[in-house]
């Protein structure tokens, strides 16, 4: 009991900012009643940007995308590289980890100094590169770093990987460390109890994402229906997700000690639980709209994964129910399980479509479509193995 009281006290201590409680938003999400629409009903503008395919620029997948003033910066875990494309889709630079046993985990952007700060498994610290892909220096970081996010004014947020077998003699550990510069920890946040929780889960994307909202980032973990918006002063908002019973994990699934060591079996090995949402991630916010991915093991065409929720009206949109129309040249957006919201910047949403899927959509359409020059050129030259196409879209806020 004492350990629980300590955990709760520390949670409120480190969640408060200058004596004020963070804003809390409750999102009641029923996938069965999510609305749909057409691209023209939901987006003000839409642009397609093919990423050039050469022997130097070819990559596997977009595991992380960050958008800055002049560039798209992409992490491809499988090729252990970071690629920098200009806004027209031309390769500007490529950064390689440099060895068969070396890889990059995640990166963050220092926009003040135009630098890319990369976590990795080999350097004993963070690798820093400029926007031309040139190595600049190494910076220190905590051990067992999962991912990180850099705010303005030299504040860094670290997400520390949970141990798979934690030392229960230390009952309280923290997922988040806030640091001044790279090596001066000023605050610990999001405590967890090592006696009931562990690191035995899959993380499909970074637990931290640049929110697209007021220079903050979002934080969420699997098995938890609460997400956090964080600034360089601490937690500024909480987003509590409530799903219908048939889509929900058991109450207190994350912290109930009876599930310790068995959470993955419950989610992945029992087909009766396939529709249960086990993670809410890839969160972004623009205005009153919160975008997120709700993950389950119900992986069929048309499954609901990508959503937008209006925090003001409570309206819920499922992108799987959004159809392409003339505004998108009859190309649907975010309707496929392989597509994600990859970034939010300047009020614009960024996603990507694999070339093989885009070519299949064109082949399968029965519409007389007049494509813009950029897509006309793509369809006349691209192959199914080409790099994906970036889509930049401005979402209407009054859905």
Give the Cβ contact number of residue 38 at 10 Å.
15
Q: What span, in angstroms and rounded, lies between the C-alpha atoms of 323 and 308?
A: 15
| Domains parsed from the chain with CATH numbers | 23-395 (2.120.10)
Q: What is the pLDDT of residue 300?
A: 64
Distance from C-alpha of 308 to C-alpha of 134, rounded to nearest angstrom: 38
pTM: 0.90
Distance CA 329, CA 349 (A): 18
Burial class (CB in 10 A: 0-12, 13-18, 19+), 54: exposed
**Coil, strand or helix at 282:** strand
What is the reported pLDDT for 261? 85
| Tens-binned pLDDT, residue by residue, of the chain (399 aa) | 333 333 333 333 444 444 458 899 999 999 999 999 999 999 999 999 999 999 999 999 999 999 999 999 999 999 999 999 999 999 999 999 988 899 999 999 999 899 999 999 999 999 999 999 999 999 999 999 999 999 987 899 999 999 888 888 889 999 999 999 999 999 999 999 988 888 877 777 899 999 888 789 999 999 999 999 999 999 999 999 999 999 999 999 988 888 888 898 999 999 999 999 999 999 999 999 999 999 998 876 556 789 999 999 999 999 999 999 999 999 988 887 778 899 999 889 999 999 999 999 999 998 899 999 999 999 999 999 999 999 999 998 777
Name which of 276, 127, 106, 297 is nearest 207 in CA terms: 106
Backbone angles phi, psi at 322, to 5 degrees: -100, 125
pLDDT at 11: 39
Q: What share of the chain is helix, strand, coil (3-state, %, to 5)?
A: 15, 40, 45
Give me the pLDDT at residue 397, please: 74
């Amino acid at each position: 009991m004492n350990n629980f009281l300590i955990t709760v006290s520390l949670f409120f201590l480190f969640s408060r900012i200058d004596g004020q409680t963070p804003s809390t938003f409750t999102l009641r999400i029923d996938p069965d009643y999510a609305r749909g629409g057409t691209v023209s009903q939901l987006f003000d503008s839409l642009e397609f940007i093919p990423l050039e395919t050469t022997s130097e620029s070819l990559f596997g997948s977009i595991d992380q995308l960050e958008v800055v003033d002049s560039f798209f910066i992409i992490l491809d875990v499988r090729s252990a590289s970071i690629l920098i494309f200009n806004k027209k889709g031309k390769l500007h630079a490529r950064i390689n980890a440099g060895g068969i046993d070396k890889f990059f985990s995640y990166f963050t952007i220092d926009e003040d100094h135009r630098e890319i700060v990369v976590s990795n498994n080999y350097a004993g610290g963070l690798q820093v590169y400029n926007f031309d892909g040139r190595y600049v220096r190494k910076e220190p970081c905590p051990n067992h770093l999962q991912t990180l996010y850099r705010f303005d004014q030299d504040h860094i947020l670290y997400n520390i990987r949970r141990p798979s077998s934690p030392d229960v003699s230390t009952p309280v550990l923290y997922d988040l460390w806030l640091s001044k510069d790279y090596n001066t920890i000023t605050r610990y946040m999001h405590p967890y109890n090592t006696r009931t929780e562990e690191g035995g889960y899959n993380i499909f994307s970074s637990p931290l994402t640049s929110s697209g909202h007021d220079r903050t980032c979002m934080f969420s973990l699997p098995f938890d229906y609460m997400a956090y918006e964080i600034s360089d002063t601490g937690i500024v908002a909480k987003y509590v997700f409530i799903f219908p019973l048939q889509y929900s994990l058991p109450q207190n699934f994350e912290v109930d000690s009876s599930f310790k060591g068995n959470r993955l079996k419950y989610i992945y090995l029992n087909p009766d639980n396939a529709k249960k949402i086990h993670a809410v991630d890839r969160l972004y916010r623009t205005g009153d709209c919160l975008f997120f991915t709700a993950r389950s093991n119900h992986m069929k065409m048309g499954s609901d994964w990508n959503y937008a929720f209006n925090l003001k009206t409570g309206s819920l949109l499922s992108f799987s129910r959004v159809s392409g129309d003339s505004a998108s040249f009859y190309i649907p957006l975010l309707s496929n399980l392989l597509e994600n919201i990859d970034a939010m910047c300047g009020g614009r949403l960024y996603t990507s479509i694999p070339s093989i899927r885009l070519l299949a959509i064109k082949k399968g359409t029965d519409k007389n479509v007049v494509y813009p020059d950029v897509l006309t050129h793509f369809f006349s030259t691209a192959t199914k193995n080409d790099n994906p196409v970036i889509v930049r879209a401005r979402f209407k806020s009054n859905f």
